[in-house]
Structure 1
Amino acid sequence: MKANRTAMHRPLPSYHSDVELLFFSSEDPRVLESGQLASDGSTPPLNNDVSILSWHNLTVTVKDRATKRQREILSKASGFVRRGEIMALMGPSGSGKTTLLNTIAQRQTGTSSCQVLVNGAERSLGTHRQISSFVEQEDTLIGSLTVEESLHFASRLALPRTVTRAEARARVSKLIDAFGLVDQRHTLIGTPLRKGISGGQKRRVSVATQLVTEPRVLYLDEPTSGLDSTASYEVMSFIRDIAIERNLIVIASIHQPSTKTFELFSKVVVLSQGRTCYNGPGFGLPPYLSDINLPIPELTNPAEYVLDLVNQDFGQDEGKHQLQTIFQAWELSAHHKRLEQMISSLKPLPLSLGDSEEGGSPKPWQIMTLLHRAFIKSYRDLVAYWIRVVMYLGLAIMMGTVWLRLSTDQSHIQPFINAIFFGSAFMSFMAVAYVPAFLEDRAMFVKERANGLYGPAAFLVANFIVGLPYLFMISLLFSVVSYWLINFRPTGTAFFTYVMWLFLDLLAAESLVVLVSSLMPNFVIALAVIAFANGLWMSVGGFLVARPSLNVFWRYAFHYIDYQAYVFQGMMVNEFQSRTYECAPVSGAGECHCLYSSPLQDQCKIAGTAVLQEYGYSTGLEGQWVGIMISIIVIYRLMGWSFTWLRKR
């Protein structure tokens, strides 16, 4: 690889006052208008789908929170990149380079006044996502996967079904070798509880997972962040080679590259305060600055010099005046005028992909791939389920020993009821522990959805299915420990009915977590809202205030949509409909005192149905309650899907 890079590295061409050819054609002499020649002189296969990406007079505005007025954060940016070229977006913090990158990639959060054209024509968002990949500044990876697995699953989700597994594995191996990750091939990315690869290695994995999909356009947001000078050069050099070999369009925002890294870029755009200071080949920057009387001192990194020149965050009035001079010099330059003319004269070219719309029904192979990945994550990630298993087992032991071997004496009726409520309500409440695991999965989905890999339906279906066995296992383990210690109704049918209600309870609680976290994907906010919702369900569920005594508003507004209410009454019926309890004898009178009136009172016994009547519960409606629980779960999941579909980030 290093030998190949040496052969590809070219001397900087000389600069002339008439620089149209240098500025606006491919700078690498091996990249021709009809294609590009390989190092051996042969003509490799071309990517005929995407030839040019352009934008003209791109302006982005956002609403200023202080003044409530629209404020420009990017002003009249224009440019284009041909296949085989790699463009650098440079500028100080807040200059607009990330905004420009996001807008070109169709990820803008502000209001854009310009269209981004692919092959000279406007394309749908679905087409943009189909042809491009985006590497964000923050590394979004699944920490419980290894380096090789991360690339493997990325290839399975993105590559056409015609690509064999052997071919996909070969691509993965090539990227692992090229990015210097051979020794980390089988190392975990890393989780909060398990150490993995370094930050710089994560950055390389993030870039590699997008390159394995073989996009036509690759967007990179600070791809060298966290890398040392040598690693930065190696990564960008490899990306440059891939761009030339595969005819990719690469656009990267980059903060302060070394001289060697800077020379790898075909084109450079320098921004400051949302305005363009320069747009042209990297080798044309030094003579351009000389032409406007701001020459680069000898033995100085051009990128470092120009960034200091346009960074006025700490500048004085003289520096601000100099920056205005740079803006005006670019606006009046022949290079800027010619750039505008060339962009305006671009003619539409066919795109063999055609336009595609975002969304679509989930494909079975996508769901199976996501299920496979989620299953690996679920059994490796301690936070997702195993910590919850330990928590629930601890709760079961605590409950079983606190409510140890309750008898059928009437004095234990209320403890039985308390145990039913506490077990179901607290099990539901502890589902908040799933929030961080879901948010990690969701962050991965947001990245992969933005790159056009799959939609929210495939993500949420896989998420739902992979959780079923774990939730059932938790329900069964909790019941095995607590049910018999407490001495609930000792029959096999009653035991498995209790397990069923607990499973539906956990499934509804986790569905609520998915719904709230999809609507508000922030850990603290989601945790607070879910905790509040659980408090509400406990209050109106029928235990703290029996349904007959519950305020009419709360009963009709919330009780009938409270899944905990159906779990509580289902468990109550399961325990009390077929059980009798002994009344307390009255000392010396040969009589007894019964807390509940029932037909068995003359036998000094209480029928369990009398307890149910006190709470307003009927028997024989268990099937209806199960149906309502399933409906609530489905509604929660569908609402989670709708919020996920509506949110683009």
Structure 2
Amino acid sequence: MTTTNNSMGSLEPIDIEKDAGSDYAHLTNTTIRSFGWRNITVTVKDRQTKMPKNILCDVDGIVKAGEILALMGPSGSGKTTLLNVLAHREATPNATVKQSLYLNGTKTSLRDFRKISSYVEQEDALVGSLTVRETLYFAAQLSLPSSVTKSERIARINSLIAAFGLQNQSETLIGTPIRKGVSGGQKRRVSVASQLITSPNILFLDEPTSGLDSAASFEVMSFVRNIAKKHKLLVIASIHQPSTATFELFDKLLLLSHGKVAYSGPIADVKEYFGGLGFQVPLYTNPAEYIIQLVNTDFSRDQEKATGQLEHIQSSWANSDNAARNIQEIEMEASDTLLDAKLEDHGSANSFLIPFTLIHRSFIKSYRDVVAYGIRIAMYMGLAIMMGTVWLRLDTEQKNIQAFTNAIFFGGAFMSFMAVAYIPAFLEDRQIFIKERLNGLYGPTAFIISNFIIGLPYLFIIAVLFSIIAYWLSNFRPDAEGFWIWVMWLFLDLVAAESLVVLLSNLVPIFVIALAATAFANGLWMSVGGFMVQPETLNVFWRYVFHYMDYQGYVFRGMMVNEFGKRTYSCGTDCHCMYPSELEAQCRIDGKAILATYGFNTGDISKYVGYMLLITLGYRLLGWLVMFLRKH
């Protein structure tokens, strides 16, 4: 089921020069004063001992409107798991989760969170060939309801661009491996801004400073802090060893180690609290770095001492007045009015129009990003020139019949094989889909439909350009009908091959493995298609299990009928015909006699086309099913 993010408000037009971002506000009357959680426990089965293992254990905490909470801890402490639980996402595969989440002291549900929260992934899954403004434009198109007018959308985009200091970069590309774009810090700001387009009340950030230097990290978090303070957002961010300046931008800290809380409270009280436990933060030392080292036992030389110290810190917190005060604070936030009665549903983006929005975005990407189709077109043109010059101007003599057959097989099979070049572009699109799906924007149906449609014109262009070069240079049947039928088969071949790439890349979304799987599949189709071994003599297993579902085989049949069905060939000077036919007395070979040796019938063309369409549809439906069943 496709879900969409709901808008919680709109922006009024502003004077950017006067007050950048001052109208980042909510239309809704819903006020989220606090977000709290009690006794969060996540349990998985240990791979070695097969016994239950706690990734998180009885984690409590609270953050209030306008505050920024830092989730910190050593690697493996459970930061990302906790962030996912708080955001109502899957904590970790095959985990058992116990949780109590509260908005304004009232238990909440996934439906509530879809209305009021947004999540910024650790990786910047952005379309590199879009500008900053276009990125925010498409975020608005995919998430805002139709009730928000065009002028309101433009005002909201302008507000965010100004609020995040991106005015000078608004028309700059995000950046691709080939074309340089905005800086890393600016890219992170765009990622955050694109999630603020719906004016959420709660913002989750997974490692927002990952991959950034200290200056860029401070820059990004400063913009987030300004937005949070001005418009009463609740921000929860997992972060790894921030600089002192960045650390001090946060209001609260939740420190984890081995899934348990070591501290949960104001940043301003960190030094005093740990000093009271006997761990005084040295002068001129980054307190964030010091306390993480304090609760990190992974690299300690004396594991027994380090473990004892950590247990002392964790038990001290669990029994402290501060921990009890957090629990009281959550309970005190309980509202007299049920939250569900106060949440307003302002609608969602029109699900019917979402595929068109995705097609529009993909179209811009396809002509700007040469990796998507430009490089593939160049590759196919190179293949066309090679094929045309190797099989250059073949005469219609019987000695060239095998060469014509080889050229037909080569053209169809290798055009299909080279579809592996689409894997990187598809995996990039898939990563963006995963991010947007998890944020509730759309589901696999809209993605598969738009992905299929946007590829059709480019694949047709590739088929035509390849044929213009290879078909005429090789001297295939020299008439317009023969040319366009060849183009049709090549187009169907490419569509099926790309659909196979979509299926296999969804099954194994790792580039090297997807590449190997696609190459293996194409090798299989080449082997059982009917050229290497004729269908009648093909091993029973390969014939009945794979041959009849081999799209390359139907392309080969169609092209063979196109070439030999309406053409004759000279038997040579000695008039010894290799293929007996009714034209043998004229010292010629009827092309249908060649088709008969393969068992091909000229009347089966429409049936072959139907099989190709069914195979393509099957690949796409299977690809959709894989995406539907996978939640990440």
Letter matched to residue 488 of structure 1: F
Change (3 A) 1:229 1:412: closer
Is this contact kept in 1: 2:145–2:349, CA < 8 A?
no
Distance, in Å, in 1 between the alignment partners of 2:404 and 2:605 is 20
- Out of 497, 504, 507, the residue aligned to residue 516 of structure 1 is 504
User: Which SS does the other structure have where 1:621 is aligned?
Assistant: helix
1:113 aligns with 97
- Out of 591, 604, 618, the residue aligned to residue 621 of structure 1 is 604
Change (3 A) 1:86 1:137: same
1:448 aligns with 436
Letter matched to residue 314 of structure 2: F
1:320 aligns with 307
TM-score (norm 1): 0.87
Distance, in Å, in 2 between the alignment partners of 1:609 and 1:276 is 80
Distance, in Å, in 2 between the alignment partners of 1:403 and 1:606 is 21
Distance, in Å, in 2 between the alignment partners of 1:127 and 1:255 is 29
Is this contact kept in 2: 1:104–1:116, CA < 8 A?
no
Distance, in Å, in 2 between the alignment partners of 1:264 and 1:361 is 35
Is this contact kept in 2: 1:103–1:112, CA < 8 A?
no
Is this contact kept in 2: 1:47–1:246, CA < 8 A?
no
Is this contact kept in 2: 1:362–1:455, CA < 8 A?
no
Change (3 A) 1:406 1:631: same
TM-score (norm 2): 0.89
2:19 aligns with none
TM-superposed CA distance for 1:187, in Å, is 2.1
Is this contact kept in 1: 2:44–2:96, CA < 8 A?
no
TM-superposed CA distance for 1:362, in Å, is 7.8
Deviations 1:469-514 (A, max 9, x none): 1000000011111111111111211111111010000000000011
2:489 aligns with 501
Distance, in Å, in 2 between the alignment partners of 1:506 and 1:409 is 31
1:20 aligns with none
Distance, in Å, in 2 between the alignment partners of 1:467 and 1:353 is 45
Distance, in Å, in 2 between the alignment partners of 1:408 and 1:427 is 25
For 1:216-365, list aligned pairs within 5 A. 216-298=201-283, 300-315=285-300, 316=302, 317-340=304-327, 343=330, 347=334, 349-351=338-340, 363-365=351-353
User: Which SS does the other structure have where 2:353 is aligned?
Assistant: helix
74-83 or 336-345: bigger deviation: 336-345
1:62 aligns with 44
Distance, in Å, in 2 between the alignment partners of 1:375 and 1:560 is 35
Distance, in Å, in 1 between the alignment partners of 2:400 and 2:74 is 71
2:559 aligns with 571
1:609 aligns with 592
For 1:116-155, list aligned pairs within 5 A. 116-119=100-103, 125=110, 127-155=112-140
Change (3 A) 1:353 1:518: farther
Is this contact kept in 2: 1:126–1:452, CA < 8 A?
no
Distance, in Å, in 2 between the alignment partners of 1:237 and 1:77 is 28
Letter matched to residue 332 of structure 1: N
Change (3 A) 1:124 1:618: farther
2:364 aligns with 376
Deviations 1:93-149 (A, max 9, x none): 222112211222213224132135353666554553443221122221111112222
193-202 or 432-441: bigger deviation: 193-202
- Out of 88, 100, 104, the residue aligned to residue 82 of structure 2 is 100
1:7 aligns with none
1:541 aligns with 529
Change (3 A) 1:125 1:570: farther
Letter matched to residue 626 of structure 1: V
For 1:157-196, list aligned pairs within 5 A. 157-196=142-181
- Out of 607, 614, 628, the residue aligned to residue 645 of structure 1 is 628
Is this contact kept in 2: 1:74–1:100, CA < 8 A?
yes
TM-superposed CA distance for 1:355, in Å, is 11
Letter matched to residue 340 of structure 2: L
Is this contact kept in 1: 2:77–2:256, CA < 8 A?
yes
1:593 aligns with 576
Is this contact kept in 2: 1:219–1:252, CA < 8 A?
yes
Distance, in Å, in 2 between the alignment partners of 1:394 and 1:449 is 38
2:68 aligns with 86
Structure 2's unaligned 5+ residue stretches are 1-21
Distance, in Å, in 2 between the alignment partners of 1:626 and 1:124 is 50
Distance, in Å, in 1 between the alignment partners of 2:370 and 2:114 is 33
Letter matched to residue 621 of structure 2: L
Q: How many residues align?
A: 600
1:477 paired to 2:461: no
Letter matched to residue 132 of structure 1: S
Change (3 A) 1:409 1:93: same
User: Which SS does the other structure have where 2:198 is aligned?
Assistant: coil
TM-superposed CA distance for 1:523, in Å, is 0.4
Is this contact kept in 2: 1:89–1:251, CA < 8 A?
yes
TM-superposed CA distance for 1:175, in Å, is 2.5
What's the Cα RMSD here?
2.5
Distance, in Å, in 2 between the alignment partners of 1:294 and 1:533 is 61
Distance, in Å, in 2 between the alignment partners of 1:205 and 1:301 is 28
User: Which SS does the other structure have where 2:98 is aligned?
Assistant: coil
Identity of aligned residues (%): 58
1:48 aligns with 30
Distance, in Å, in 1 between the alignment partners of 2:307 and 2:556 is 69
